[in-house]
Structure 1
């Protein structure tokens, strides 16, 4: 099993085999038998979403997606590929760091006092099937944020520790993907128990499967499989290499951290924030945004109260509210805070970028704001300013 902070790279646990669709279904059955709650992609309500799977038959075989800025559509494919789709509206953050978590409840005693009941961490053993390489990196980033420092989140740790991660290497990037620019894909490099590369060609529909941990190797040993043959290895490698050359977006080839630092007063911020609704969609779908707030609720009698933690967004006017008003009162300041933190100052806090190149924020922005376009525009403005000086 993989653990927070990048464990799961034990060479002793590495084995390789080829699975067919029967082997994929057996994988789900074995994980369920081992007491895992298996979460994976499935088609529902006009989208490819993440949900609990009872069998591999629920996977989106034969479904793909069409993505653009502010647009998402599922579409039928000409083949029966299960993992030939790009990131959907959810990320694995929804299960590891849920939108709402009760922290405690309290009940009034007969003497007028209150008895507080601490909320016990949820006991769950997840297996995530079909984790994209960009999302593998996002999970590692969340590990660093939620459990890598002085203040660790027990609710996160209870879900994350021991989670079994099955990567699905990307063979068909979407029009809004830019994982190559961020160094997060399309190949899975670390942090998985098993990694699948789907191959659909004249030789059939199959999955090259390699283990990344001893537990991954043990699970693989329980599945109907055959030895990894060289044609399948080559086809899998070729599919991933070709995906790297078909990214729909890219970042400017510069140090983004420096670019964000040196363009704080750029005119481009006015242009983008004239289009920004401050709705916070980008933070909700982002697989690494982690900000929360607390809210207290009570029943009508006042005898029962609860405290809940829920996701919050730096686009919310009250997010930086102090006694004299919000620190970031304008949409310009809030958008700039989000982008410069994601691409720049995240490094100062967590030693990495906060962006993995999944493109969700582009797809689910109602006005189609594209952070790669904004980064290129900031780069052009900075280059023009330097040339004119």
Structure 2
């Protein structure tokens, strides 16, 4: 087991990880806003009191703020960093303000932040695919571990996995997500064996795995291995396409995991906040730059996913307002938006407090 990184290493890794991702996220908003002629009053990395900054020739205040837990672009016509519109600018929006942009333009400006985070992840995965090649293996079972869930269910080497719970399987890498996320669950395996098709019910084992730093993870395990697994070189176009597929696969895992937490299939202790991200950042940096950059891709997808949730004060909440505006053919009332933003902000702050307490409860000083 490797020793845990120092607190200073964790803090440095956290800043090195989150800083660029936040800047790129907000840069997505800013650049698309500029494309549509919307002025930006402020571009901030962090929240709260300004620590340092400058004003460019366009009047945008670029600043570094006290709390490094995010950032924002405040466009002209916004009342505050949460992008609550200034009521005085709603009736007849001044040209160049956010509210003067067309509905589809405002939607694209808001969507640009999460899309930028997804593009970052795609670029990282595509780079890895170019460097290491793509994993290639047919869903043909080459080995079945002794005493495993697969052996208990009657799975044999040479079986080909055709489907899992009715979902078609054509590649080996499609198997793991349908197993690892469902520890203790009984699944149906459709197999081809000696030219015949058969269905087998298998109860996925619930395994607790520990990494090199002692972090525990519950995952499902069937106990099978591929007959032939190798990496093959890919060109830039295929590498990018694989990067897109891998990014959306990771987001799919996040959606499934969140759903399982909501319905009680997983513990809320698996939710992580800034402290846990800092801890994992330091650990991944200690393992090497490839591991750290790969972790950055996961966090970038996480930022995109969280920001797309339909919660007022997040990008997804704004998009929900614009969807309502498109249906109603007019914006929601000022008071309705204000109360929605307040409620959403309270929800976000409550969630941040919860995950931070969750992180603290998992530290060794509390006996875990």
If the TM-score is normalised by the length of the shorter chain, which range does it land in? Answer: under 0.3
TM-score, normalising length from structure 1?
A: 0.21
User: In terms of Rg, which structure is larger?
Assistant: 2
Point out the structure with the larger helix share.
Answer: 2
Structure number with higher relative contact order (C-alpha < 8 Å, ≥ 6 residues apart)? 1
